[in-house]
Amino acid sequence: MEKKKKHIFIAGHNGMVGSAIARILSKDTSVEIITRPRSLLDLTNQQMVLDFFKDNKIDEIYIAAALAGGIYANDNYPADFIYQNLIIQANIINAAFISNIKKILFLGSSCIYPKFSKQPISEEMLLTGPLELTNEPYAIAKIAGIKLCESFNRQYGDSHGVDYRSIMPTNLYGPRDNYHPENSHVIPSLIRRFHEAKVNKYSSVEIWGTGKPRREFLYVDDMADACVHIMNIDKKKYYKVVPERCSHINIGSGKDIAIIDLANIIKEVVGYKGEIKLNHSKPDGTPRKLLDNSRAYELGWRSKYDFLSGLEKTYIEFVKVFNK
């Protein structure tokens, strides 16, 4: 008799992280991936989400769906960022519980931590200080998602077998990133700016801020690997490492780089020959964000991709999309 396949719903399957998770899971013959485009399933619609879960036998959920962006987008659309992210995650998690779905992996963001966190940032730094103001609404939504998972675990873990896990990725990059000229994160934004400057033979490219802030980056396939790894760890082993009231897990590369150095590397990858000009009138954001990944390491996960090779793969993918 053929073994029953595990039905896994990926929320946000067309996004950078969701599509990478799908690539990994598609190699597992014991898994059936379930997805829906936004046109058929609006995750901000509570009834649609509940009906979808009732109509489909789902065993696990990866919540990679989110409204995300860089400093400009966060600062200019704060209502969108807090509302849409709050309602998406609340709808999915609550409907999953009602539908007796016992396993969820919720993806947060390293911006949940205080602006001036002690480096590297451990999970225990959550809610110990003020957030970076430019992305505070997004961060608050993600913190709420962590606590929503935690609260369901505390209230229904023993009685209903609920096991809702959260992981906090550092800054991600890779295929299917958002290259919008204003709303993208730093790596896709710089790739686009340097590429357009090369094509149009601009003499210089402007970078926001002083160039001094330091950021940690992780290739998206490493993140997807971490997601699947963390989701599949035995429950007893998992909760020996993960505390009940601080249950999220940092996922990062363990290395950071100054923005100006990052810009120079991307300039080389793209092949741009002009100048880099720093606009000191623009905000820097958080001075430094380097995650303490010791909890993930204890659970047996390590990143694999080299930063430069990851950037080269990302640029090749960008050129293909940009030239369509």
Token couple for 44: 């901000």
Strands (DSSP E) along the chain, which ranges?
6-11, 31-34, 60-63, 103-107, 163-169, 171-173, 204-208, 214-219, 248-251, 256-258, 275-279, 288-289
What is the full DSSP assignment across 273-284? -SEEEEETTS--
3-class secondary structure, 250: strand
3-class secondary structure, 191: helix
Cβ–Cβ contacts within 10 Å for residue 156, how many?
A: 15
Token couple for 244: 């009940």
Beta bridge partners of 288: 214
Catalytic member of 138, 179, 219, 272: 138
Which residues are CB-contacts of 49 (< 8 A; sequence separation ≥ 6)?
41, 43, 91, 92, 95
Distances (CA, A) of 120 to 196, 249, 254, 293: 35, 14, 9, 9
Residue 45 Ramachandran class (φ > 0 left, ψ -120 to 50 alpha, else beta): beta
3-class secondary structure, 207: strand
Distances (CA, A) of 115 to 144, 186, 216, 289, 290: 18, 18, 15, 8, 12
Cβ(262)–Cβ(187) below 8 Å:
yes
Question: Is there a catalytic annotation at residue 138?
Answer: yes
| Residues tagged active-site | 138
